[in-house]
Amino acid sequence: MIGVNASEDTVFCSVEYDLDTFQTEKTGWKQLLRQISPPEGIGIEEGLQAYSYPYYVMDPQKIDLSYFSLCSDGSYFFEWLYEVNDPENFFLEYAVNGGVWNSVAADSPDNICFVLRNNQMFLLASRQWRPGNTYDYRVRYRGETSNWVEFAVTGEGCTSTLHDGDRDEQVIPDASQPGGSFAASQPVKQPKGESGQEEIPASAVQDGARRGIP
């Protein structure tokens, strides 16, 4: 690790990882502990010598939307391990303010929501988001539905929350209909279930978005 001391000189420090804290048995966010050792004669402030590092364990057998990061243009970049072999069966489903799910295909001419890249990631546009609204997203592929993420937008930014399970709401495959894009009118808000809700850990949130760690 490269650091800078109080005199603004470059300092090279060694980092020792505690592999006993590296867990891969279950998917989800984990914490890897590590210890930083500076060169002899150089000290590190108390509390910075040892700390945890967030990482995410993926399931290679399904699409998981838990691993995403915020891009410089305000869009969100989702990645997973599972390979999408037939993109024509890949659909992004979205809902506004807790309303019904709407569906848009990756190759639809009305698609201004997302861009599928390399069959293992997609870029989600946020330019249509408005403060005061919530936006939910999930993926449907080959009859399987991924977990879903909810973005709550405010005037200062947005926060994100991951959910597992289904909201038991109707899916409307409207990608071929006029107004079936992300800019569709907002549906009436419906109540959400509390089961399966997973809050994003504070250590993995920065600028209102989860930071993905490989």
Q: The CATH number of the domain where 111 resides is what?
A: 2.60.40
Distance from C-alpha of 16 to C-alpha of 13, rounded to nearest angstrom:
10
174 within some domain = yes
Give the pLDDT score at 41.
83
CA dihedral (126, 189, 185, 140) in degrees, to 10, reads: 60
| pLDDT score for 168 | 57
Q: What parts of the chain have a pLDDT lower than 70?
A: 167-214
Of 18, 35, 57, the domain-final residue: 57
- Domain tally for the chain? 2
Q: Residue 63: inside a domain, yes or no?
A: no
CA max distance for the chain: 68
Last residue within a domain, chosen from 13, 38, 57:
57
- Please indicate, yes or no, whether residues 176 and 107 belong to a single structural domain of this protein: yes
Q: What is the pLDDT of residue 30?
A: 93
Whether residue 141 is found in the same domain as residue 206: yes
Q: Identify whether 62 is part of a domain.
A: no
Q: Which residues constitute the domain of residue 18?
A: 2-57
- In this structure, the answer to whether residues 47 and 73 fall within a common structural domain is no
Whether 43 and 89 share a structural domain: no
Q: Do 184 and 203 fall into the same domain?
A: yes
Q: Are residues 12 and 73 in the same domain?
A: no
Q: Identify the pLDDT of residue 38.
A: 86
Q: Are residues 136 and 203 in the same domain?
A: yes
If asked whether residues 156 and 195 sit together in one domain, one would say: yes
Structure tokens at 6: 């109080």
Same domain, residue pair 39 and 108: no
112 and 50 belong to one structural domain: no
- Residue 53 and residue 150 in one domain: no
Q: Which of 36, 57, 78 is where one domain is finished? A: 57
Query: Do both 89 and 52 map to the same domain?
Result: no
